[in-house]
Amino acid sequence: MILDLLRHASTGRAGHLDGRTDPPLIEGAMDTLYRCHAGIGWSRVITSPRRRALDTAHALVAGSNQFCEIHPDWAELDFGDWDGLHFDEVPAEQLAGFYSEPHDVVPPNGESWQQFQARVEAQLHRLVDEDDGDGQPVLVVSHAGVLRLVVSRVCGMSLSSLWAMRIDYGTRVRLRVERGEDGQLWGELLELRQP
């Protein structure tokens, strides 16, 4: 299966921990995405229910006969008490612990990385199971944390190394995703397109 993961268009809130916090897209945010991603023939378009992802997905399919499938499991990590805060507003040692050991550090009253990983992996397995083999990519419009998690799980890259990978607004990551004989997903990074 070919999977395109796209981070939503800009909300103008770079540096904020926006999980369930859901700011709207800024005016003109889709202009660059149209230029970068126009003409791709996706077999399906799936989106996080967050307004910023949903509005991005709807804009990308506007004028076509495609519709957007909305699924809550593609939403960003819930950062709990940190949700909506800028990085500078979170105690530095706690934030550093979260980035270095996300499996061990849970934002106060937030979602654990294990919960986040379980729901996203369930959706990955579902997509592979539902793939019709036509070779057309499936698009998932989501969030930076989801993109990093999927690349980590499918390509076997350590999560800590993926913090160094820039995933700006509108970044598209194309992966080939397969299921091995052991039932585990594996794949390769085919393309990383920054707007």
Q: Give pLDDT tens digits for 164-191.
A: 888 999 999 999 999 999 999 999 999 9
Q: What is the mean pLDDT of residues 43-61?
A: 96
Q: What is the pLDDT of residue 70?
A: 97
Full 3-state SS string of the chain? CEEEEEECCCCCCCCECCCCCCCCCCCCHHHHHHHHHCCCCCCEEEECCCHHHHHHHHHHHCCCCCCEEECHHHCCCCCHHHCCCEHHHCCHHHHHHHHHCCCCCCCCCCCCHHHHHHHHHHHHHHHHHHCCCCCCCEEEEECHHHHHHHHHHHHCCCHHHHCCCCCCCCCEEEEEEEECCCCCEEEEEEEEECC
pLDDT at residue 135, as a whole number: 87
pLDDT of residue 23: 97
Kindly name the residue from 37, 76, 111, 143 that is annotated as catalytic.
76
Can you give the pLDDT at residue 110? 97
Q: Provide the pLDDT for residue 80.
A: 97
Mean pLDDT of the chain: 94
Residue 19 reports pLDDT greater than 80: yes
76 is catalytic: yes
Tens of pLDDT along 119-156? Answer: 999 999 999 999 988 889 999 999 999 999 999 999 99
Residue among 8, 16, 37, 143 flagged as catalytic: 8
Provide the whole-model pTM.
0.95
pLDDT at 164: 84
pLDDT of residue 93: 94
Range of the domain at 103: 2-193
Catalytic site residue 8? yes
Q: Residue 38: which pLDDT band, with cuts at 50, 70 and 90?
A: confident
The predicted pLDDT at position 165 comes to 87
CATH of the domain at 100: 3.40.50.1240
Residue 160 has pLDDT above 80, yes or no: no
If one counts the domains in the chain, the total is 1
Q: Is the pLDDT reported for residue 193 higher than 80? A: yes
Confidence at residue 116, expressed as pLDDT on a 0 to 100 scale: 96
